[in-house]
Amino acid sequence: MNSAFISDKSSIASGLHEAVESVCDYVRRLNKDEFNFAPAEKWNAGQQLDHLIRSITPLNLAYGLPVIILKWRFGVSNRPSKTYQGLIEKYESKLALGGKASGRFIPAAVPYESKEQLCGKYQQENEKLNKKIKRMDEVVLDKYILPHPLLGKLTLREMLFFTIYHNHHHLNLMRKYLKAF
């Protein structure tokens, strides 16, 4: 999907579906050695997938909350949502400054035998999120905010932009690491 066309909830849902399917298709094709390989101090493919699951699961909770709870807990935006490209640039700049995952988003060891189960879980979490997105009003996506551990306060739309790109980012890391294998 061309990132220039990711803007409304329909294109976001399509982008999320495509991104998650790309990750799972790639991981499913890996043999045991490829799945378990990672350069020193880096995550292997199973850990990358576990991290992505840890990242999308809280979104399902947040996007299922009534907007009054979102407003009370996190507030409302005082600015327009960034574009998809603008959000990518912000994320890339944070990574360049040494930003990385922390806390509950750091993956555990992942056995090769669980790759199919993990892909199924990831696809299921994404399907749940996509259903919630489709029920939301476009205005809601730009009005309410959620905290991101690296990027700070993001609108609901920006969080979805991040989630799409986050998949591509980790898929690219998996591919990059395997080139060194």
Reply yes or no on whether the pLDDT at 62 is more than 80. Answer: yes
How many other CB atoms are found less than 10 A from the CB of residue 178? 17
CATH domain 3-179 topology: Four Helix Bundle (Hemerythrin (Met), subunit A) (1.20.120)
Q: How many angstroms separate the Cα of 116 from the Cα of each of 6, 49, 108, 122, 136?
A: 29, 11, 16, 10, 31
User: Letter for the amino acid at 16?
Assistant: L
Mean pLDDT calculated for residue range 43-58? 97
pLDDT in tens, 137-177: 999 999 999 999 999 999 999 999 999 999 999 999 999 99
3-class DSSP assignment, residue 152: strand
Instruction: Report the relative pairing of strands 145-148 and 152-155 from DSSP bridges.
Output: antiparallel
Reply yes or no on whether the pLDDT at 5 is more than 80. Answer: no
> pLDDT tier at 2 (50, 70, 90 boundaries)?
low
Q: What is the pTM of this model?
A: 0.94
> pLDDT tier at 4 (50, 70, 90 boundaries)?
low
Domain boundaries along the sequence of the chain: 3-179
Nearest to 22 by CA among 129, 178, 170: 170
